[in-house]
């Protein structure tokens, strides 16, 4: 693969190690609701703050797996319960 698009937000923690092992970019998506259930309504106190916090955590976990930050792409997951 040339890129990993992980719409699950690292629900499979091995994805970050796979990206690192193969040295390929990874797209990290903020997604609380995967697979997407359009009938599920998620209430956020501050959606922007919660998305930033969640994605920051995913970035740190992925860097700790050995992948360079320049290969980490973030996706706020618009349409995934927001």
Q: What's the domain range around 22?
A: 4-75
Q: How far apart are CA 74 and CA 13, in angstroms?
A: 16
Question: How many CB atoms lie under 10 A from the CB of residue 47?
Answer: 14
Percent of the chain with pLDDT over 70: 89
Give the single-character DSSP code of 49: H
Domain count, the chain: 1
Q: Note the Cα 49 to chain centre separation in Å.
A: 15
Instruction: Quote the pTM value.
Output: 0.82
Average pLDDT over the chain, rounded to an integer: 88
Q: By percentage, how much of the chain surpasses pLDDT 90? A: 62
Residue 59 has pLDDT above 90, yes or no: yes
Q: In the prediction, which pLDDT does 13 show? A: 87
Q: What is the pLDDT of residue 10?
A: 87
C-beta separation of 74 from 53 below 8 A: no
User: Which of 2, 8, 31, 18 shows the shortest CA–CA distance to 62?
Assistant: 18
Q: Does 37 have pLDDT greater than 80?
A: no
Quick check: is 80 in a domain?
no
Q: Is the pLDDT of residue 48 over 80?
A: yes
d(CA 55, CA 61): 10
3-state class (DSSP) for residue 55: helix
Question: Does residue 48 form part of some domain?
Answer: yes
Domain annotation covers residue 18: yes
């Amino acid at each position: 693969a040339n890129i990993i698009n992980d719409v699950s937000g690292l629900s499979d923690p091995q994805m970050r190690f796979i990206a690192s092992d193969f040295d390929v970019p990874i797209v990290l998506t903020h997604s609380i609701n995967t697979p997407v259930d359009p009938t599920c309504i998620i209430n956020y106190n501050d959606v922007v703050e919660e998305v930033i916090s969640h994605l920051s955590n995913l970035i740190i976990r992925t860097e700790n797996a050995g992948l360079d930050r320049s290969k980490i792409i973030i996706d706020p997951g618009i349409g995934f319960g927001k």
